[in-house]
Amino acid sequence: MNLNFDKSPNGLIPTIIQDATTKTVLMLGYMNHEALKKTEETQKVTFFSRSKNRLWTKGEESGNYLHLVDIQEDCDSDTLLIQVNPEGPTCHKGTDTCWGESNEQNFGFLSKLEEIIASRKENSQDETSYVASLFRKGINKIAQKVGEEAVETVIEAKDNDDSLFLNESADLLFHYLILLKAKGFTLNDVVVLLKSRHK
């Protein structure tokens, strides 16, 4: 790394802390050369505290350490992005992040879809909801639908109509998310298992 500590009058470089797994931004701190060196040596993120005017290892009092995973410098060599595995909440106020956000794995629209499916399960008596009707019919019907959509996806994969293939793929994924919820699991449970198999 060829960091430009001299760009700042006090020799401090802004340092963004990001969860290595969820990619959630946890906090912003500042590092000087000594803080960076100690972070690399101890594998625990250490900042230069402007209020204490000294090196400060996050978690030295609370035990909520930020375990180092990766360090990247930006294109101008004057900002750091550090990926970590956090131990406990990051903010001194007890929240996961310094912005009060929850540090949970998020899969974008698929996570939103999981929330909608969960809501339909809770309101399974809603006569207007297709998803609610599946939950009313029970696990056998839901599993059957996944099987049907899987077969239809395979059939379309063997043809040349990409639009039909993508539509069937979407139907399969949608019904699979319903099956996961019916069994009491989430997409993240599957991802965790896949990661455990990845060597």
Model confidence pLDDT, tens digit, residues 82-109: 999 999 999 999 999 999 998 988 899 9
Q: What percent of the chain has pLDDT above 90? A: 84
**Domain span(s) for CATH 3.10.20.810 in the chain:** 5-86
pLDDT band at 126 (very low <50, low <70, confident <90, very high): confident
Q: Taking the domain 109-198, which CATH number applies?
A: 1.10.287.1080
Query: Across the chain, which distance is largest between two alpha carbons, in Å?
Result: 67
Pairing state between β 25-31 and 46-49: unpaired
| Residue 11: φ, ψ to 5° | 70, 20
User: What pLDDT is stored for residue 159 in this prediction?
Assistant: 94
Mean pLDDT for the stretch of residues 132-140: 96
User: What pLDDT is stored for residue 10 in this prediction?
Assistant: 87
Q: In the structure encoding, which two tokens stand for residue 76, read together? A: 């101008």
pLDDT over 90 at 9, yes or no = no
Pick the CATH number of 5-86 from 3.10.20.810, 3.40.50.2300, 3.40.50.450, 3.20.20.70: 3.10.20.810
User: Whats the size of the chain, residue-wise?
Assistant: 199
Q: How would you class 172 by CB atoms within 10 Å of its CB: exposed for 0-12, middle for 13-18, buried for 19 or more?
A: buried
**Domain span(s) for CATH 1.10.287.1080 in the chain:** 109-198
